[in-house]
Amino acid sequence: MELYLKISYLNDFIFCPLSIYYHQLYGELSERMYYGSAQLDGKAAHSAIDEQRYSTHKNILQGMDIYSSEYNLCGKIDLFDTEKGLLTERKKHIDTIYDGYIFQLYAQCLCLREMGYTVKSMRFYSSDNNKVYPVLLPEENAEMFEKFKSTNVAMQSFSPSNYEPQSPEKCHHCIYNDFCDRPLTSKAYCGGF
């Protein structure tokens, strides 16, 4: 039996590998227990895509399940225009494009290609400020593509029993901080963050 990890875990893994464990432990039924307002706002803004009511154009695939046997990843795309070969990942608000965001887009691109689709370009769309951020395809940025592959290998072989957090700032901002058995800081701590 092959084990596929969710594409969204790539960003979580970079932030803190334990967050994947806690998300599975608490599940989606108890999101209100640990989600902050930013996560709830993002989820609400994403509902049109999740419910496949964002577009009625037949060439726009939305919220479609995707997978890659090569990378053992699965997930969903936001929007893919089959005529233009344009893959779009929507975010509620983008201040910074983190490596984890790019890795998620790479994974979506690679999944679509493995499933027989032609991806010619990729981008992020920030709905709060209506901005578009183009992203190079994996083969156009060899260094970032190598980082993606090594991160995915590390994530696929991760063991939570040996992991020790390294960043008090990340622990402070983690939505699972109150539930974690090894935080470096508590939510009640106010100094410096």
Q: Yes or no: say if 72 and 5 are a contact pair by the CB < 8 Å rule.
A: yes
Q: What is the pLDDT of residue 186?
A: 62
The pLDDT value given to residue 190? 39
Helices and strands (H, E) in the chain, number of each type: 8, 8
pTM: 0.78
Q: What is the percent of the chain where pLDDT is above 70?
A: 77
Please, which pLDDT band fits residue 176 given cuts at 50, 70 and 90?
A: confident
Token pair of 185, please?
């800081």
Work out the angle at residue 94's Cα, subtended by the Cα atoms of residues 165 and 164, and round it to the nearest 5 degrees. Answer: 5
Alpha carbon distance, N-terminus to C-terminus of the chain? 44
C-alpha to C-alpha distance for 93 and 112, rounded to whole angstroms: 25
Model confidence at 162, pLDDT cuts 50, 70, 90, reads confident
21-40 core/surface letters (b: 16 or more CB in 10 A; e: else): bbbeeeeeeeeeebeeeeee
- Taking the CB of residue 168, how many other CB atoms lie within 10 A of it? 14
What Cα–Cα distance (Å) separates residue 79 from each residue in 50, 97, 135, 165?
10, 18, 15, 35
> What is the pLDDT at residue 21?
79
Angle at 59 between CA 55 and CA 62, to 5 degrees: 50
Banded model confidence at residue 88, pLDDT cuts 50, 70, 90: very high
113-144: per-residue pLDDT in tens?
999 999 999 999 999 999 999 999 999 999 99
DSSP structural state of residue 185: S
pLDDT single digits (tens) 91-120: 999 999 999 999 999 999 999 999 999 999
Mean pLDDT on 79-96: 95
* Residue 71: its H or E element: none
Mean pLDDT of 75-92: 96
- Check if the beta carbon of residue 11 is closer than 8 Å to that of residue 155: no
| pLDDT tens digits along 32-49 | 544 555 545 544 444 555
